[in-house]
Amino acid sequence: MSDIQSWIKNEVENNDVVLFMKGTPNFPQCGFSGQSVQILDYIGVKYVGHNVLEDDSLRQGIKDYSQWPTIPQLYVKGEFVGGCDIIREMFQSQELQALLSEKGIEIAPAA
């Protein structure tokens, strides 16, 4: 396993919710990453955001790790959930909130 793959594995396994994205949670740099951040922030879940634009090896490494071609990518308790479309669909159907609750992750929806 390469260094970047080991680093990704460590991040995904040691943080409850991780979003690999373009930009940062405070400054998303693509619409899909921005939508994903808005959803996670709206639900009120704490998450770690990693900017794949800062490191080409991370940008390619996360695609290889998940076998998923696009970014952003969301992981919950070590499991790959999906990209923006899946996050949005799961949020709209309440599946995302249910998944987080099932995994024991605290959410505090916006009032």
Sequence-distant (6+) residues with CB within 8 A of 31 are: none
pTM of the entire predicted model: 0.95
The per-residue pLDDT for 108 is 85
The per-residue pLDDT for 1 is 63
What are all long-range contacts of 11-15, with beta carbons under 8 Å and residues at least 24 apart?
Answer: 11/48, 11/50, 12/65, 12/75, 12/78, 13/78, 15/47, 15/48, 15/75
The per-residue pLDDT for 111 is 56
For the chain, 111 residues long, the average pLDDT of each consecutive 10-residue run is 92 98 97 98 96 96 96 97 98 97 87 56
